[in-house]
Amino acid sequence: MEKVVLKVDGMNCQRCAENIKRAIGKLDGIEKVEVDIENKEVSISFYPSAINKDAFIKAIQDAGYEVV
């Protein structure tokens, strides 16, 4: 399992956090998603054999947020 932390612009409330968790949680190979609204960070634990970083970046962008 690997872990990555992404900075996300446009995320400023609990609803934003839930939207991002939901978008990433739909993907295969995701073990855990934690959102830090104050620091605008999303921490994702995942299985690299099942998914890559580009897939969850796309999921965040599709949810209306920008990964920086």
Q: Can you tell me the distance from the alpha carbon of 4 to that of 58, in angstroms, rounded to the nearest whole number?
A: 15
Please list, in sequence order, all residues whose beta carbon lies within 8 angstroms of the beta carbon of residue 53, skipping any fewer than 6 positions away. Answer: 4
Could you tell me if 37 and 12 are in contact, meaning their C-beta atoms sit under 8 angstroms apart?
A: yes
Pick from 62, 50, 52: which is nearest to 23 by CA? 62
- Domain boundaries defined on the chain: 2-67
4-27 pLDDT, tens per residue? 999 999 998 999 999 999 999 999
CATH class, range 2-67? alpha beta
33-67 pLDDT, tens per residue? 999 999 999 999 999 999 999 999 999 999 999 99
pLDDT at residue 24, as a whole number: 95
